[in-house]
Amino acid sequence: MSRSGQTPQGTTHTPDPAAPAPGQSLDEMLRSSIWARDLDPVAFDNVRARITERSVGPGEHVCHQGRSAVHWIGVIEGLVKLTGVSPEGKTVTFTGVNAGGWFGEGSLLKDEPRRYDGCAVGHTRVALMPRSTFNWLLDNSISFNRFLLHQLNERLGLFISMVGYDRMLRPEARVARCLATLFNPYLYPNSSLSLQLPQEEVAQLAGMSRQRVNQALRELEDAGLLHVEYGRITIRDLEGLQTYEA
């Protein structure tokens, strides 16, 4: 592996617009992952040989709160929601991880049990990178470390924004911004604008009642920003969702 792994000065970290669409193979997903682009062929093959794929059905766990983190997890296809459960049994949904996204690096870096459950929303395929491979990349790839810094910064910005949305925006705008966060081009470079996402799951992601989310989705659909079908939402105007405040 080239330890020079730097991106040329002035190069941005914008994902390739030609990245494979959902339905891609594991190899396609890995090759389009931002962290893998600066790996030389030998290093990439070494990492690829240690990554496995797993298919997960709707509602099934990808990872469990309180258990040891043994993998860095990527979403090849589908959507994973990250949720936490309080000692009293209350469930809170923190965010969703869309196709092309990777998560769980915090638990690996801190060597602590996971602080959330990861559950599939609809049929989902995930890539599992062993902890040992993740640590090998940390020790040998400058570009991988740079990727993690950018990813952690993007995710921090996402959560700060979500707190602001919750406190300052109307319910319709909150739903719009919540959906827009699932299409962050750095966190989820391979996401499709059509999501297998029931309204109940949107309600959990937005922290609102299903009835209120239903009303919000109708308003957003009337505004031409998205189209709602049974169990699926198709985004028609992502920029409009990102700035919706009416």
Distance of CA 174 to the CA centre of its chain: 18
- Quick: pLDDT tens for 207-225: 899 999 999 999 999 999 9
The mean pLDDT value of the chain amounts to 88
Cα 201–Cα 234–Cα 82 angle in degrees, nearest 5: 30
List the structure tokens of 204. Answer: 């959990």
- Assigned CATH topology for domain 26-148: Jelly Rolls (2.60.120)
Please answer whether residues 84 and 63 qualify as being in contact, where contact means their C-beta atoms are separated by less than 8 angstroms.
no
Percent of the chain with pLDDT over 90: 72
Q: Mean pLDDT over residues 62-89, rounded?
A: 93
Confidence check: pLDDT of 74 > 50: yes
β pairing state of 117-130 and 61-63: antiparallel
Q: 């469930």: which residue's tokens?
A: 91
pLDDT number for residue 85: 84
pLDDT number for residue 92: 87
List the structure tokens of 148. Answer: 């993690």
Q: Which residues contact 138 (CB under 8 A, 6 or more apart)?
A: 144, 145, 148
**C-alpha to C-alpha distance for 139 and 53, rounded to whole angstroms:** 24
Please answer whether residues 20 and 99 qualify as being in contact, where contact means their C-beta atoms are separated by less than 8 angstroms.
no
pLDDT number for residue 63: 97
pLDDT number for residue 86: 78
- Quick: pLDDT tens for 17-35: 333 344 789 999 999 999 9
- In the chain, CATH 2.60.120.10 sits at 26-148
pLDDT number for residue 246: 63
- Quick: pLDDT tens for 43-73: 999 999 999 999 999 999 999 999 999 999 9
Q: Which residues contact 160 (CB under 8 A, 6 or more apart)?
A: none
Q: What residues form DSSP beta bridges with 129?
A: 72
- In the chain, CATH 1.10.10.10 sits at 160-243
- Assigned CATH topology for domain 160-243: Arc Repressor Mutant, subunit A (1.10.10)
pLDDT number for residue 11: 35
Q: Mean pLDDT over residues 87-105, rounded?
A: 90
State the Rg of the chain over Cα.
18
Three-state SS string over the chain comes to: CCCCCCCCCCCCCCCCCCCCCCCCCHHHHHHCCHHHCCCCHHHHHHHHCCCEEEEECCCCEEECCCCCCCEEEEEEEEEEEEEEECCCCCEEEEEEECCCCEECHHHHHHCCCCCCEEEEEEEEEEEEEEHHHHHHHHHHCHHHHHHHHHHHHHHHHHHHHHHHHHHHCCHHHHHHHHHHHHHCCCCCCCCCCEECCCHHHHHHHHCCCHHHHHHHHHHHHHCCCEEEECCEEEECCHHHHHHCCC
- Quick: pLDDT tens for 97-139: 999 999 999 999 999 999 999 999 999 999 999 999 999 999 9
Residue 13: pLDDT band by 50, 70, 90 thresholds?
very low
